[in-house]
């Protein structure tokens, strides 16, 4: 029986099919195995593999007939793992900030058009953040994400906005590209970003970019707390603290400016 190319909800869009195939590729090198593992038809998997081959996300061995992860996929994994390794050197700074603020501290790396958490230190508060290591969050509406955008050129910020669509997460989310560009410019000048209930209602955050050995912003750290927390530090007090900590973490990432 041919695969139906559908997921649990009865339909599967192109992105879901592609992600399903990428996820199965390392363990299922044969076309037929990939089709079974993804519950997609062979023709669909073959079409996806052609696109992945063309973009370098898959490789094909003409002798064995096996498909394997391609150089771009391996490079992406390598960049992410480099960030994880660097996070080890950042531990003392992250822990100190958590102890000083009592709030939840995150470290995230830039992966595509998202920020992916690679470290989380929960605050000593009666409440907990729903975030977790491995979770991806948008760039345009989070403190940690906007800090990353502040390290990009205006043209790159506009391209990110065009690709992601600036989805509204709360009534406070910036969904206009001109407002986002203006906000990012101010962040770059100030050195730290804010999220004033823009990603989650009730949650506020301050973030600052982390630079690597090429002096590019490839990561960011943030401090998150409830807006109603009576002990929450105001943005103008927390911002310089987070910016200074980000500079220390940049040194762990090999930034020459740190």
Whether 79 has a pLDDT exceeding 80, the answer reads no
Q: What is the mean pLDDT of residues 196-219?
A: 94
Question: Using CA atoms, how far apart are residues 147 and 151, in angstroms rounded to an integer?
Answer: 7
Instruction: Assign 137 to helix, strand or coil.
Output: strand
Q: Does 87 score more than 70 pLDDT?
A: no
Nearest-CA neighbor of 253 among 206, 218, 207?
218
What gap in Å lies between CA 236 and CA 250, rounded to an integer? 22
Beta-carbon count within 10 A of 74 CB? 14
Q: Please compute the mean of the pLDDT values over residues 198-226 and round it to a whole number.
A: 94
pLDDT in tens, 143-201: 999 999 999 999 999 999 999 999 999 999 999 999 999 999 999 999 999 999 999 99
pLDDT score for 62: 83
Portion of the chain with pLDDT greater than 90, in percent: 60
Range 225-244 burial, b when 16+ CB lie within 10 A, else e: bbeebeebbebeebbebbbe
Q: For position 82, what pLDDT does the model report?
A: 56
pLDDT interval class at 129 (50, 70, 90): very high
For the cut 50, the answer to whether the pLDDT of residue 1 exceeds it is no
Q: Residues 49-76: pLDDT tens digits?
A: 999 998 888 888 888 888 988 767 766 6
More confident residue, 177 or 9: 177
Contacts of 195 (CB under 8 A, 6+ apart): 141, 142, 143, 144, 146, 203, 204, 205, 206, 207, 222, 224
Residues 73-102, mean pLDDT to the nearest whole number: 75
Q: Is the pLDDT of residue 89 over 80?
A: no
CA 48, 157, 206, 81: dihedral to nearest 10 degrees?
40
Distance CA 105, CA 141 (A): 17
Q: What is the pLDDT of residue 8?
A: 43
- The confidence score (pLDDT) of residue 258 equals 63
Tell me the mean pLDDT in the region 123-152. 93
**DSSP alpha helices (H): ranges in the chain?**
14-24, 31-38, 42-55, 71-101, 143-149, 154-164, 177-190, 235-252
**Pairing between β-strand 104-111 and β-strand 217-226 as defined by DSSP bridges:** antiparallel
Mean pLDDT over residues 118-146, rounded? 92
Residue 131 neighbours by CB distance under 10 Å: 20
pLDDT in tens, 106-124: 999 888 899 988 889 999 8
Q: How do residues 16-49 score in pLDDT, each as one tens digit?
A: 999 999 889 988 999 999 999 999 999 999 999 9
Given the DSSP bridges, would you call strands 104-111 and 58-61 parallel, antiparallel or unpaired? unpaired
**145's tokens:** 């994400």
Integer distance in angstroms from the first to the last C-alpha of the chain?
60
What are the DSSP calls for 66-117, one per residue? EEEE-HHHHHHHHHHHHHHHHHHHHHHHHHHHHHHH-SEEEEEEEETTEEEE
Say if strands 193-196 and 136-138 run parallel, antiparallel, or are unpaired.
unpaired
- Domains, the chain: 14-69 (1.10.10.10), 79-252 (3.30.450.40)
């Amino acid at each position: 029986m041919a695969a139906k190319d559908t997921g649990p909800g009865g339909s599967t869009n192109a992105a879901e099919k592609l992600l399903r195939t990428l996820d199965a590729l390392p363990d299922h090198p044969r076309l037929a195995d990939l089709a079974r593992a993804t519950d997609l038809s062979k023709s669909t998997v073959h079409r996806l593999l052609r696109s992945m081959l063309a973009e370098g996300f898959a490789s094909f061995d003409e002798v064995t007939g096996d498909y394997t992860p391609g150089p771009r996929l391996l490079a992406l994994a390598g960049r992410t793992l480099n960030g994880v390794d660097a996070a080890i050197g950042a531990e003392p700074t992250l822990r100190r900030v958590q102890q000083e603020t009592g709030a939840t501290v995150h470290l995230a790396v830039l992966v595509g058009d998202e920020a992916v958490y690679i470290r989380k230190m929960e605050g000593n508060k009666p409440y907990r953040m729903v975030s977790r290591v491995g979770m991806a969050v948008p760039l345009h509406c989070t403190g940690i994400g906007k800090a990353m955008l502040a390290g990009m050129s205006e043209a790159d910020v506009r391209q990110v906005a065009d690709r992601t669509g600036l989805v509204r997460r709360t009534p406070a989310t910036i969904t206009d590209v001109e407002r986002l560009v203006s906000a990012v410019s101010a962040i770059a000048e100030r050195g730290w970003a804010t999220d004033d209930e823009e990603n989650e209602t009730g949650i506020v955050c301050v973030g600052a970019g982390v630079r690597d050995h090429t002096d590019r912003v490839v990561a960011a750290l943030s401090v998150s707390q409830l807006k109603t927390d009576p002990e929450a530090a105001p943005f103008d007090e927390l911002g310089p603290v987070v910016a200074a900590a980000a500079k220390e973490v940049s040194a762990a990432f090999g930034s020459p400016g740190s």
